[in-house]
Amino acid sequence: MLQVGNTVNGGNLTIEEARSHFTAWALLKSPLLIGTDLKTIGKDYLNILLNKEIIAINQDPVVGASITPFRWGINPDLVSNSSHPAQYWSGQTQTGVVFMLLNTLDTPAPLSFNLTESWAIRAGRQYHVRDLWAHTDNGTAVRNLTVTVPGHGVAALLLTDAGDEPASAGLENECAVWSQCSTHNGTRLDIPA
């Protein structure tokens, strides 16, 4: 059951944490059961529960599968860890590919990745970027994407295909994180720092 808006009787989620909780719950295709009193909920928390773009992905009638992690991020063990869960998630929707980027740190952090690290992205394409919380179109991503995410916050992005990537985009850096680059056959490249 969603805990968004439960600020009394021990509830202590900040707005950023509540937004992260709702995003994860919705994009994992969990039932959106509201567990707070709607007569007393604060406006900021109510706005989280009313995000039509996030709800539309949760209720997608065509693609019922939830998002899955494609990179762990700062978790060194690459296993389930309640302090530092997987930070990079993606999944297919009927309108594009949805991404959830979690920042478990106390301070804002830039989260960067190569688009094709996600199984749902096609190589050689560029993508329009839609911010599902700001409700803004944020240009086009080619190969890499970096988003600054607030402490304990989330970025929810919808990427839609915008055609072939430009032939002369000056894309000498093919990966967002060099240690995760690989050759065309999938062999990892260990590039010295």
Which parts of the chain are beta strand (E)?
Answer: 68-71, 88-92, 97-102, 109-114, 125-131, 136-142, 144-149, 154-164
| Domain ranges, residue 116 | 15-180
Domain count, the chain: 1
**Single pTM value for the model:** 0.81
pLDDT value for 18 = 87
Task: List residues bridging with 148 in a β-sheet.
Answer: 110
DSSP three-state, residue 174: coil
Q: Name residue 56's amino acid.
A: A
Residue 170 lies inside a defined structural domain of this protein: yes
Does residue 22 fall inside a structural domain? yes
- pLDDT given for residue 109 in this prediction: 93
Residue 172, domain member (yes or no): yes
Q: Which of 12, 87, 21 is nearest to 49 (CA)?
A: 21
Concatenated DSSP letters of 111-122: EEEEGGGSTTSP
What CATH number does the domain containing 25 carry? 2.60.40.1180
Q: Is residue 70 part of a domain?
A: yes
pLDDT tens-digit profile, the chain (193 residues): 667 766 665 468 888 988 988 899 999 898 887 778 888 888 988 898 899 999 999 999 877 788 899 887 776 666 666 667 788 999 999 999 999 999 989 999 999 999 999 999 988 899 999 999 999 999 999 999 999 999 999 999 999 999 998 876 554 545 444 444 444 444 343 433 3
